[in-house]
Amino acid sequence: MAYVDDFPTDARIVRWNMAVAFLALGVGGLFGMIQALHRTGVFRGFVSSADYYTVLTGHGVLLALVFTTFALAGLFTWGVTRSLDRSLPSPRFSIAWFGLMLVGAIMAAVAILGGLVPSMPLSADVLYTFYAPMKAHPLFYIGLTLFIVGSWLAGVDWFRTYWQWRGDNPDERIPLQTFMVLTTMLMWYISSAGVAVEVLFFLLPWSLGLIAEVDPLLTRTLFWYFGHPVVYFWLMPAYFIWYTVLPKLSGGRLFSDPLARVVFVLFLLLSTPVGFHHQYVDPGIPEGFKFIAMTNTMFLLLPSLLTAFTVVASIEHGGRQRGGEGRLGWLRTLPWDEPAFAGCVLAGLMFAAGGFSGMINAGMNINYLVHNTLWVPGHFHLTVGTASALTFMAAGYWLFPQITGNRLRFRTLATIQPYLWFIGMTFMSNAMHRAGLAGIPRRTAEPQYDSVTFQGVVGGVSEMRLQIALGGTLLFVALLLFLIVVFGTWLGGDGTDSLRVNSSIPAPLSGPEHSPKILDNLKLWTAVAIVLIVLAYGLPLSALVADGLFAPGSPPIPV
């Protein structure tokens, strides 16, 4: 029985979420290619340099927020219902949160894209960080608010399902996938409170003219309180796939369930009290708090390093189950022609590279060299742009048959797609990192100045530009292949194929019975997480508001 047969209503929720996610990925990816060609000067015919920032805002919001959150909602709905073996309690409630997220996303997108239509009185060229005093149309802030409230209600839906299950199973350990969903959502509630306060109490009333001024540093700090944990909100669904699906795809089983739980608890604890590492070179924040954020950030490497071990060990186990022998011989027996497997593994490899460039970003003093240069997007195109995006695509290859009842179509395209993405990203990201070392800034339409020359440290600047443009184009081609495959799969059948994949997941080599029960004590971990946040943020935030909530103040400047 396919998942869609067991859970037809939930499969529909998963399908809709994934469809919105991948449509957003398509539009956002097109914008990305336009930017890669524009800023390198290879082709500037799509938009003017002033409109570049409209496209850049669309790219950031559609990919970093809309794509990732809808993909998460789809994957988590599947994971909760599958691992608890029960449907979400109320289809009406599920449609309500999905609808709220969708309406919010559309409102924000309309506000942004209105910037491309001169006759429309809308614009929101504020990038996805929307730093005050740059002001977007109020529709943008309202849309973001609805979107985030929708994601909160999605979490309520998953918690309710869990509580019902708990009523029937008072003594069982929380199934691993549900455990991952719940810890991720707890992290999300704690961290998105920052951006909710920023938007609801400051930016939205300010954009409506209800308050005259806001404090740019305070709102910026609230944004980054949310802005780092949000990257784990992108990443934890990828980890969820790597821990629970990838071992099966490689032919084996998860190495250690207890360690997976430890990793997700560590993310819950450490994701938020690190936001100041995005503000290392901001004025107005004492050095000591930057140092605390730095040490927390470094410890946040631990769950990712543990993941690297467990995931590779699980894949090796799978390779050996398939008859692979010797120290590295197991690599050869792995199913490299399975797009779901190849996509996850290539995403993991790039994440390792992204992890190393992230250690540089986190290094408080070396960050001076790379802050706000092209190094930074070079870094996060490896993390969210590949570790998350390619994993979600890979999961799509595996999940779409199960949520539609159709076998995967265009298998050949699917087989080459992850490799094409990997190659495109290798071109683009290595060149972006090197360009950053030369001091070339990020977030600009034309990084070519009369008064400034950039000295390439490794390689020449024109070669880097060419690699960025080529990489960006290959990535967009890979994206098109992906969209053809998943939407071809969805629309290309009547849901009655006999599938070659199923949702059953083999038990881990070391199961939850080997881990202390305290790991499942979500109240305890939430409390510890909040204490860590109070330690990291209590004093600097109170110092920022001590001179008045809205001071030093700035009036809105529409862009």
- Pick out residues in 485-514 that bind another protein (CB under 8 A): 510, 514
Segment 147 to 206, residues that bind another protein, using CB under 8 A: none
Query: Which of 130, 398 has the CB closer to another protein?
Result: 130
Query: Looking at 232, 233, 255, 537, which residue is catalytic?
Result: 232
Among 16, 43, 168, which residue's Cα sits nearest to residue 100?
A: 16
* CB count in 10 Å sphere of residue 304: 21
Segment 536 to 555, residues that bind another protein, using CB under 8 A: 543, 547, 551-555
Applying CB under 8 A, which part among 50-58, 88-96, 158-166, 325-333 lies near another protein? 50-58
Segment 387 to 446, residues that bind another protein, using CB under 8 A: 438-446
443 is catalytic: yes
- For another protein, the binding residue among 210, 327, 365, 504 (CB under 8 A) is 365
Q: How far apart are CA 93 and CA 84, in angstroms?
A: 18
- For another protein, the binding residue among 248, 253, 290, 409 (CB under 8 A) is 290
137 is catalytic: no
Residue with tokens 């199961």: 511
Q: How far apart are CA 391 and CA 384, in angstroms?
A: 10
Beta bridge partners of 256: 510
53 is catalytic: no
- HSE-up of residue 489 (Cα within 13 Å, Cβ side): 28
The DSSP result for 197-228, as a single string, is: HIIIIIIHHHHTTSSS-B-HHHHHHHHHHHHT
Min dist CB 531 to another protein, Å, is 21
Min dist CB 242 to another protein, Å, is 16
Q: How big is the site for another protein, counted in residues (CB under 8 A)?
A: 81
Q: Report if residue 302 touches another protein, rule: CB under 8 A.
A: yes
277 is catalytic: no
Q: How far apart are CA 543 and CA 221, in angstroms?
A: 12
Among 291, 148, 147, 283, which residue's Cα sits nearest to residue 217?
A: 283
559 Cβ contact partners less than 8 Å away, ≥ 6 residues apart: 53, 123, 125, 126, 134, 135, 136
* CB of 316 closer than 8 Å to CB of 332: no
Min dist CB 23 to another protein, Å, is 26
Query: Which of 441, 495 has the CB closer to another protein?
Result: 441
98 is catalytic: no
Helix (H, G, I), strand (E, B) or coil at 399: helix
Q: Report if residue 520 touches another protein, rule: CB under 8 A.
A: no
Segment 121 to 150, residues that bind another protein, using CB under 8 A: 125, 127, 131, 133-134
The DSSP result for 36-70, as a single string, is: HHHHTTS---SS-TTTHHHHHHHHHIIIIIIIHHH
- For another protein, the binding residue among 453, 462, 502, 521 (CB under 8 A) is 453
- Which residue type is seen at 391? T
280 is catalytic: no
Helix (H, G, I), strand (E, B) or coil at 135: strand
Applying CB under 8 A, which part among 336-344, 370-378, 382-390, 414-422 lies near another protein? 370-378
Min dist CB 305 to another protein, Å, is 4
* CB of 216 closer than 8 Å to CB of 131: yes
Q: x/- contact string, 211-230, with another protein (CB under 8 A)? A: ----xxx--x----------
Min dist CB 76 to another protein, Å, is 26
Query: Which of 11, 437 has the CB closer to another protein?
Result: 437
- For another protein, the binding residue among 25, 294, 340, 532 (CB under 8 A) is 294
> What residues act catalytically?
228, 232, 379-381, 442-443
